[in-house]
Amino acid sequence: MGAALGRVLAAHGATIITTLEGRSEATRARAHAAGMTDAPPAAFGACDVILSVVPPDEALPLARLLAPILETSAKKPLYVDCNAIAPSEAKAIGEVVAAAGCPFVDTGIVGGAPNPDGTRIPAIYASGPHAERFAMLRELGLDIRVLDAPNGAASALKMAIAGVSKSMTGVVALMAMSAREAGVEAAFLAQLRQSQPGVAAFAGAQIRALPEKAYRWVPEMEALAALAAHPGGPEVYRGLAALYDWIAREHSVDPDLKALIERFSRD
């Protein structure tokens, strides 16, 4: 997502820097292909806008890492958190950023990463007192939708959407493996495609990507377990966190899981 957003911004004339220290060769290649330039964290203080796009459990540590740099910078960049985190964590990040003297915007990205040809752009919901300032990036190709709401609201919206889409993916994966064990996998998938074609198509695409995505969904499900406080909610999302943790670890080993991913990759 970070490289894809950077590509959109760079294509519209923005100068994009990122830090690639300790990152894999694949990550470096994606960043360079997107028109991004490697720079040390110390350079971020001279930016106009900082977009934080990292795994959810790294969002607050990143803000804390950058806080001393931002505190001493003369420019005071607009700090925009774009991660799938709980509203309470978004507010905590906002406090860290505000203490460093920078304006903060809470956002939630809804939808897949932008396509290289620009035919798909995710919606970026923004909340907080500085959200309208962030909306200037619409001129650089982003679909920014400002909510008349405080910090934390955009994160709550993102988590609510993720709670539906990613739970649906997990349920389909579980039932497909259960159907396979019972010898009715083909009939299950045929009936799902007949009665719930939208669910089948969406979940199938997500299941194909689980080897790369599952590890990032674990902290999202854990955050939802705390957010979904109504009866049964915490148990549902703790269970999904355990499922995605298992998928992240076993996708190349467990025979049922391998068969599931291969089946959806063929279809």
| Cα–Cα distance measured from residue 37 to residue 111, given in angstroms and rounded to the nearest whole number | 26
Q: What is the pLDDT of residue 23?
A: 85
Q: Would you identify the CATH topology of the domain 2-149?
A: Rossmann fold (3.40.50)
pLDDT class of 267 with cuts at 50, 70, 90: low
**Is the model's pLDDT at 117 over the cut of 80?**
no
Describe the strand order of the beta sheet including 49-52 as a list of residue ranges: 49-52, 78-81, 104-110, 123-127, 143-146
pLDDT digits (tens, 9 = 90+) for 21-76: 888 888 889 889 889 999 999 999 999 999 999 988 899 999 999 999 999 999 99
Residue spans of beta strands (DSSP E) within the chain: 16-18, 36-38, 49-52, 78-81, 104-110, 123-127, 143-146
Residue predicted with more confidence, 165 or 22: 165
CB atoms within 10 A of CB 226: 16
Least confident of 18-27, 55-64, 124-133, 227-236: 18-27
| Cα–Cα distance measured from residue 206 to residue 42, given in angstroms and rounded to the nearest whole number | 37
The whole-chain average pLDDT of the chain stands at: 93
Report the share of the chain in percent with pLDDT over 70: 99
**Is the model's pLDDT at 220 over the cut of 70?**
yes
Of 10, 16, 69, 64, the residue nearest 39 (C-alpha):
16
Per-domain boundaries in the chain = 2-149, 156-266
**Is the model's pLDDT at 118 over the cut of 80?**
no
| Cα–Cα distance measured from residue 260 to residue 228, given in angstroms and rounded to the nearest whole number | 29
- What's the predicted TM-score (pTM) here? 0.88
3-state secondary structure of 49: strand
| CATH class, 156-266 region | mainly alpha
Interhelix angle 25-33/2-11, nearest 10 degrees: 20
Cα dihedral: 212, 35, 139, 116 (round 10): -50
Cα dihedral: 90, 112, 45, 11 (round 10): -160
| Cα–Cα distance measured from residue 110 to residue 106, given in angstroms and rounded to the nearest whole number | 13
**Is the model's pLDDT at 246 over the cut of 80?**
yes
Q: Are the C-beta atoms of residues 44 and 77 closer than 8 Å to each other?
A: yes
Q: What is the pLDDT of residue 116?
A: 76
**Is the model's pLDDT at 172 over the cut of 90?**
yes
Report the share of the chain in percent with pLDDT over 90: 79
pLDDT class of 136 with cuts at 50, 70, 90: very high
pLDDT digits (tens, 9 = 90+) for 190-204: 999 999 999 999 999
